[in-house]
Amino acid sequence: MCVEYAERITGRKDAGISIDRAIAGDYLLKQEGGINMALCKKCGAQLDDDKKFCGSCGEAVQDGAEPQVQQYQYQQTIQQGVDRLAKIAQDTADETGGIDPADIQKNKAMGGLAYFLFFLPLVACPESKYGRFHANQGLMYLFLCIAGSIVRGILSSVLYSITWRLWWISSIISAVIWLPILAVGIIGLINGFSGKAKELPIIGKFRIIK
């Protein structure tokens, strides 16, 4: 079995080739019939996922060396998460078709600025359906920012009450909370300035300003 893998990996048919040379490294992966296999770095035998030692030669499986198949699965999980978020951002209600194109063209600036000050369209163009749409979206975004600040403040207070040495966890929490909020705001800005009356992800479906 080891010689067979050595020949496949190196492409050499001479029986005298060193197997160690063919299977050097922490793990070798081979995909055959849709099954990924991690191989022992010493003897080339297949390793079971849940084993700490090679069943053939007894070589310890290094804890710090993650098999490439696990790295691939981790990358796939991250990519699926990103794709899912992108799908959520895209699959929001689009009311652009129900608004007069002249209204949109005239009030694009107000639509984008609504995400800085939600009431600007209500003052500058109170009769604009496009402006009122983004005024409502801007108000929902303001509520989201306030909620994020409250949650971040509570969690940070709890951590600091335990010990100030947990400040770095507070920084991570801030990033986890504010990066998605920032992304939602950017989506709103793009929609407003580009003439699209699309709802923000999740929060955009709520209506206060009609």
Cα gap 86→78, rounded to integer Å: 12
Question: Averaged over 167-184, what is the pLDDT?
Answer: 89
**What pLDDT score does 20 carry?**
47
pTM of the model: 0.60
Question: Averaged over 130-152, what is the pLDDT?
Answer: 95
Q: Which residues of 3-34 are buried (b: 16+ CB within 10 A; e: fewer)?
A: eebbbebeeeeeeeeebeebbeeebbeeeeee
Cα gap 29→51, rounded to integer Å: 16
**More confident call, 5 vs 79:** 79
- Packing angle between helix 167-194 and helix 129-162, nearest 10 degrees? 180
Residue 43 reports pLDDT greater than 90 = no
Residue 28 reports pLDDT greater than 70 = no
**What pLDDT score does 123 carry?**
95
Top mean pLDDT of 18-27, 42-51, 164-173 is at 164-173
146-173: pLDDT as tens digits: 999 999 999 988 888 888 888 888 889 8
Q: For 117, left (φ over 0), alpha (ψ -120 to 50), or beta?
A: beta
Cα gap 84→16, rounded to integer Å: 51
187-205: pLDDT as tens digits: 999 999 999 999 999 899 9
Phi, psi of 200 (to 5 degrees): -70, 155
Query: Cα–chain-centroid distance for residue 182?
Result: 14
